């Protein structure tokens, strides 16, 4: 068990900066997920912890030791790879025991620990199988057993479920959570799948273009995204963004106006460009918005495309300033599009003209120029109700 | 029955869904397609082998088969000092016989070119400019062996040769000699040349085998605590084993068929007093040089076949 600390980690390849000044602390026993699009530097950051990549600048600590220049084997880490990486010429027992045998444990100890590890991942009775005789899920378990058998301080998992089919992936997700609960080992988990990140981790580290965007518990990333990137990346389907201007009465754009006291966002001035963000589930039809205590003014739109998902329906709305003008609008372009999610029993069809409201308590405001979040709710209550990021921005 | 008829028959039978008839017609159709290839294969491969196998039991007057002599040709050839020279072997004097020379090639050339190829492949694996280096090493293998033999003549030439010049430069002038014409060392000089050429081939196969190894296997072994030697011995070596089998067997086949390099360096005699003659040279001389001895040529050629065929079969059946 150990806590991990990254101090100003930067990794540059010839002309590419893969990781750009990333610092973070991961507590002992914590499950932290690095998430981000391909090429965001999440795997490289993990490799600096594993010792497979040496950072150009910065320091890595595991426990109390600085390990920046230590070989992988001396760091007390175990790693599970995306493509599973079992040795194809060794059977399950040999695969799991490889690290132990290299460390010259006696045969009895090796057998005892391999059996224990196989037990934890439910692989009893398969120790003499070859990797090519096993299913993807079983192989993934062998890879995990190979990691836990050495009793490492830290588990590093690089997209371990990416090559499994969707059903197995969901199953293994819960298995990994169970494993984390049983072993209590610090886990760093890399994925580009934000659903995995949301469901498994204590905290998520969102990375983009080599930079750490936000390190926070999953729901905080969802409800109080630190910037436009996190807001757009976490959550599926993504948040709606509308670009507009800060005026004396609030937010104004071509199709969406939201009134609020400009004092709510003191760090920007009137006339500055803002981006308003609202998630599809926080857009409501007027007739079903009774539960929403603080609503914006009505917006008029035409239901353009419906996407029934079974448990919900995604409605692509084309906004217009009022219902009568909808026919004169330009064809569907991003600025006047809004995605709404409704329950399947909603009375709506393609082409129907509707009035919608936004939930003021779920509206996010970002400074367009920097992308940083300014405020996470537009309720007219005291500052204590707004999220920490907003408070930060206020101060 | 024309081909068209066969097609029609096959289609018609399929319609009737009469299993047996379909199979039979299919077999005929397959046979029709195989005939051109099989004919050529029979004329140019099978027939000569069968003809040699039969001819090796007959006496010959130049090119005319005369009468059955049993194992005479076989006994005469296998006891010929040109093929196996037991008395010289006891004293380790060259020539030791063509078969012995061939086996010496196998013992020295094959392991050396295999391991050198693997070593270079490993060395070049992560190197900058590996493509250029690989091409340079492999270039030797693209040159016709007869040219290699001629190049070796130049390399080992006592006056102009670069090898002797090298010896002079490093102060070993007393070793300078005409390497391809000195009976006791010539074969090693040629084997060294053969290794140079063939290393490119094994390096190429190993390079592709190495690049096929999933890098995360190596990283995984690193995290598990394997040092460079364990990573090679426990991971890389077992994973390139199938390639090793191919490289070794192709190497054995290559040296068992050796002819050009030896011919270029030592002519039809296979060096001064046959000092580094090989089976290929003996077949050639027995068949095409006076005194023509067709019986012996056939026996020696079959001997080569017996050694090479099982190896070729093994490769052909490898998964």
Q: What is the DSSP string of B14-59?
A: HHHT-HHHHHHHHHHHHHHHHHHHHHHHIIIIIHHHHHHHHHTTEE
- Using the Cβ of A89 and the Cβ atoms of chain B, whether some distance falls under 8 Å is answered with yes
Determine the residue of chain B that is closest to A74 in CA distance. Answer: B225
Q: Which of B217, B238, B239 sits opposite A85 (nearest CB)?
A: B217
pLDDT band for B21, please (50, 70, 90 cuts): low
CATH architecture group of domain A4-231: 3-Layer(aba) Sandwich (3.40)
B223·A78 Cβ contact <8 A: yes
Structure tokens at B301: 């050629």
Nearest chain B residue to A47 by CA distance is: B219
Which helix (H) or strand (E) is B220 found in, with range? helix B215-224
Q: Assign domain A237-394 to a CATH class.
A: mainly beta
Between chain A and chain B, how many beta carbons pairs sit less than 8 Å apart?
58
| Strand-pair category, A77-80 with A299-308 | unpaired
Q: For residue A196, what are its two tokens?
A: 């995995």
pLDDT at position A389 is: 44
Give CA–CA dist A4/A1, Å, rounded. Answer: 10
Phi then psi for residue A320, to 5 deg, are -145, 160
Write down all domains in chain B, each with its CATH number in brackets.
Answer: 3-55 (no CATH), 77-317 (1.10.3720.10)
Eight-state DSSP code of residue A238:
P
B242-270 mean pLDDT: 90
What pLDDT tens digit does each residue of chain A (395 aa) get? Answer: 688 999 999 999 988 899 999 999 999 999 999 999 988 999 999 999 999 999 999 999 998 899 999 988 888 899 998 888 899 999 999 999 999 998 888 999 999 999 988 888 888 888 999 999 998 888 988 998 998 898 888 999 998 888 888 888 888 888 889 889 988 899 999 998 888 889 899 999 999 999 999 999 999 999 999 999 999 999 888 899 998 888 888 888 888 888 888 888 888 888 889 999 999 999 999 888 888 888 888 888 899 899 999 899 999 998 875 444 444 444 433 567 889 999 988 888 888 889 999 998 999 999 998 999 998 888 765 444 444 444 343 33
From A392, A255, A277, select the one nearest A332 (Cα to Cα). A255
Residue with tokens 């068992």: B256
The radius of gyration computed from the CA coordinates of chain A, to the nearest angstrom, equals 25
What is the overall mean pLDDT for chain B?
86
Residues of A in contact with B128 (CB under 8 A): none
Question: What is the per-residue pLDDT across B36-74, written as a single tens digit (0 to 9) for each?
Answer: 999 999 999 999 999 999 988 988 887 788 888 888 889
Mean pLDDT over B290-313 rounds to 88
CB contact under 8 A, B216 and A99: no
Fold: same for A4-231 and A237-394? no
Q: Does the beta-carbon distance from B223 to A73 stay under 8 Å?
A: yes
Chain A hits for B226, Cβ within 8 Å: 73, 98, 102
Contact B220 A85 (CB under 8 A): yes
Distance, CA of A45 to CA of B178 (rounded, Å): 62
A146, closest residue in chain B (CA to CA): B224
Chain B residues close to A54, C-beta within 8 Å: none
Angle (CA) A53 A57 A60, round 5°: 65
End-to-end alpha carbon distance in chain B: 39
Cα B294 to Cα A160, A243, A353, B56, B267, distances in angstroms: 68, 95, 100, 8, 20
Binned at pLDDT 50, 70 and 90, residue B4 comes out as: low
Distance CA B302, CA A73 (A): 56
Handedness of CA B219, B220, B224, B226 (dihedral sign): negative
Does the CB of B20 have a partner CB in chain A at under 8 Å?
Answer: no
B234 vs A contacts (CB less than 8 Å):
87, 98
Tell me how far apart the terminal alpha carbons of chain A are, to the nearest angstrom: 38
Q: What is the pTM of this model?
A: 0.74
Is the CB of A94 inside 8 Å of chain B's CB atoms?
no
Question: In B, which residues are within 8 Å of A87 by CB distance?
Answer: 217, 220-221, 234-235
CA distance, residue B227 to nearest chain A CA (Å):
9
B217 touches chain A (CB under 8 A): yes
Q: Which residues of B touch A150 (CB under 8 A)?
A: 224
pLDDT for position B233: 92
DSSP annotation of B313: H
Residue A337, token pair as written in the block: 């599009």
Q: What are the boundaries of each domain within chain A?
A: 4-231, 237-394
Q: Which of B220, B226, B241 sits opposite A81 (nearest CB)?
A: B220
Cα–Cα distance between B196 and B212 in angstroms, integer? 25
Token look-up 């090639």 returns B105
Task: Tell me the torsion sign for CA atoms B107, B108, B112, B114.
Answer: negative
Q: Please, is A105 exposed, middle or buried when counting C-beta atoms within 10 Å of its C-beta (0-12, 13-18, 19+)? A: middle
Q: Which of residues A322 and B160 earns the better pLDDT score? A: B160
- The dihedral through the CA atoms of A167, A172, A173, A178 has a sign that is positive
A100, B249 contact by CB (below 8 A): no
Copy the structure tokens of residue A54. Answer: 């040496």
ipTM above 0.85, yes or no: no
- Judged by DSSP in three states, A243 sits in strand
Encode burial over A12-47: b for 16+ CB neighbours within 10 A, e otherwise: eeeeebbbbebebebeeebbbbbbbeeebbbbbbbb
Determine the pLDDT at residue B207: 92
Chain A touched by B220 (CB under 8 Å): yes
**B93 or A331, higher pLDDT:** B93
Cα atoms found within 13 Å of the Cα of residue B285, Cβ hemisphere only: 20
DSSP state of B73: H
Mutate to test the interface with A, among B128, B222, B223 (most CBs of A within 10 A): B223
What pLDDT does A111 receive? 93
Q: How many residues does chain B have?
A: 319
- What's A312's DSSP letter? -
Collect all residues of chain B within an 8 Å Cβ-Cβ radius of residue A52: 219, 222-223
CB B105 within 8 A of CB B255: yes
Residue B10 has pLDDT above 80, yes or no: no
Q: What is the arithmetic mean of pLDDT over B204-232?
A: 90
Residue A199 Ramachandran class (φ > 0 left, ψ -120 to 50 alpha, else beta): alpha
- Per DSSP, chain A holds a count of helices (H) and strands (E) of 9, 21
CB contact under 8 A, A83 and B223: no
Contacts of B74 (CB under 8 A, 6+ apart): B56, B299
Find how far residue A261's CA is from the centre of its chain. 32
Query: Using CB atoms within 10 A of its CB, is residue A200 exposed (0-12), middle (13-18) or buried (19+)?
Result: buried
Which A positions 258-297 lie with beta carbon below 8 A of chain B? none
Q: How many CB atoms lie within 10 A of CB B67?
A: 8
Q: Do A99 and B230 touch (CB under 8 A)?
A: no
Q: In whole angstroms, what is the distance from residue A136 CA to residue B143 CA?
A: 47
Rounded to whole angstroms, how far apart are CA atoms A98 and B234? 9
Spell out the residues 6+ positions from residue B3 whose beta carbon is closer than 8 angstroms to its own. B32
Q: What is the mean pLDDT of residues B172-181?
A: 82
Pairing mode, if any, of strands A299-308 and A57-62? unpaired
Place of tokens 């490993």: B122
Distance in angstroms (rounded) separating the CA atoms of residues A42 and A62? 18
Q: Which of A82, A99, A156 has its CB closest to that of B224? A: A99
Instruction: Give residue B203's pLDDT.
Output: 92
Q: Which of B224, B241, B242, B319 would best serve as a mutation to test chain A binding (most A beta carbons within 10 A)?
A: B224
- Interface check for B126 against chain A (CB to CB < 8 A): the answer is no
The Cβ of residue B182 has, within 10 Å, a number of other Cβ atoms equal to 18
Residue A300 DSSP SS3? strand
């Amino acid at each position: 068990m150990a806590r991990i600390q990254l101090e100003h980690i930067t990794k540059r390849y010839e002309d590419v900066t893969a990781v750009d000044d990333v610092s973070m602390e991961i507590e002992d026993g914590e499950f932290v997920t690095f998430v981000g699009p391909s090429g965001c530097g999440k795997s490289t950051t993990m490799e600096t912890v594993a010792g497979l990549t040496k950072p150009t600048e910065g320091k890595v600590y595991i426990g109390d030791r600085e390990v920046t220049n230590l070989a992988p084997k001396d760091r007390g880490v175990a790693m599970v790879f995306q493509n599973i990486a079992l040795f194809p010429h060794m059977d399950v027992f040999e695969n799991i025991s490889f690290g132990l045998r290299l460390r010259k444990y006696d045969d009895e100890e090796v057998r005892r620990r391999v059996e224990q590890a196989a037990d934890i991942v439910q692989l009893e009775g398969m120790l003499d199988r070859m990797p090519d005789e096993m299913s993807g899920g079983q192989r993934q378990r062998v890879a995990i057993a190979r990691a836990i058998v050495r009793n490492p301080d830290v588990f590093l998992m690089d997209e371990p479920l990416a090559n499994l089919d969707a059903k197995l992936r969901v199953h293994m997700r819960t298995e990994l959570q169970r494993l984390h609960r049983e072993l209590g080992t610090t886990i760093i988990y890399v994925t580009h799948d934000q659903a995995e990140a949301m469901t498994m981790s204590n905290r998520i580290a969102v990375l983009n273009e080599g930079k750490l965007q936000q390190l926070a518990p999953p729901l905080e990333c969802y409800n109080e995204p630190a910037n436009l990137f996190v807001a757009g990346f976490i959550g599926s389907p993504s948040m709606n963004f509308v670009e507009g201007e800060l005026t004396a009465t609030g937010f104004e754009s071509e199709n969406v106006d939201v009134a609020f006291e400009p004092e709510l966002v003191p760090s920007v001035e009137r006339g500055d460009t803002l981006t308003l963000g609202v998630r599809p589930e926080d857009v409501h039809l007027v007739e079903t918005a009774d539960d929403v205590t603080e609503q914006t003014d009505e917006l008029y739109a035409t239901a353009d495309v419906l996407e029934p998902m079974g448990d919900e329906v995604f409605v692509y709305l084309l906004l217009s300033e009022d219902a009568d003008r909808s026919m004169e609008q330009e064809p569907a372009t991003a600025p006047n599009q809004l995605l709404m999610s409704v329950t399947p029993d909603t009375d709506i069809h393609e082409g129907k003209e509707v009035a919608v409201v936004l939930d003021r308590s779920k509206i996010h405001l970002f400074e367009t120029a920097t992308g940083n979040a300014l405020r996470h709710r537009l309720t007219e209550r005291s500052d204590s109700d707004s999220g920490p990021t907003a408070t930060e921005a206020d101060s | 029955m024309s081909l068209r008829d066969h097609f029609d028959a096959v289609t018609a039978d399929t319609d009737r869904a009469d299993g047996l008839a379909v199979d039979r017609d299919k077999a005929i159709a397959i046979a029709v397609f195989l005939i051109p290839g099989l004919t050529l294969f029979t004329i140019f491969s099978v027939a000569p082998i069968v003809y040699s196998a039969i001819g090796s039991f007959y006496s010959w007057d130049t090119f005319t088969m005369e009468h059955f002599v049993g194992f005479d040709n076989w006994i005469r050839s296998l006891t010929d000092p040109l093929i196996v020279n037991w008395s010289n072997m006891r004293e380790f004097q060259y020539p030791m016989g063509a078969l012995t020379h061939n086996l010496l090639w196998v013992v020295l050339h094959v392991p050396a070119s295999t391991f050198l190829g693997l070593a270079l492949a490993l060395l070049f694996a992560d190197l900058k400019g590996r493509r250029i280096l690989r091409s340079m090493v492999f270039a030797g293998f693209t040159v016709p062996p007869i040219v290699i033999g001629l190049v070796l003549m130049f390399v080992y030439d006592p006056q102009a040769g670069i090898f002797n010049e090298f010896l002079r430069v490093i102060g070993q002038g007393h070793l300078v000699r005409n390497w391809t014409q000195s009976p006791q060392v010539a074969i090693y000089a040629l084997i060294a040349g053969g290794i140079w050429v063939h290393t490119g081939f094994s390096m190429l196969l190993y390079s592709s085998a190495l690049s096929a190894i999933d890098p995360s296997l190596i990283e995984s072994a690193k995290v598990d605590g394997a040092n460079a030697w364990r990573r090679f011995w426990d991971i890389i070596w077992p994973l390139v084993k199938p390639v090793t089998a191919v490289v070794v067997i192709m190497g054995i086949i290559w040296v068992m068929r050796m002819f050009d390099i030896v011919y270029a360096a030592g002519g039809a005699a296979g060096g001064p007093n046959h000092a580094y003659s090989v089976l290929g040279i003996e077949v050639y001389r027995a068949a095409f040089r006076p005194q023509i001895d067709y019986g012996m040529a056939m026996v020696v050629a079959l001997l080569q076949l017996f050694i090479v065929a099982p190896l070729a079969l093994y490769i052909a059946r490898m998964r």
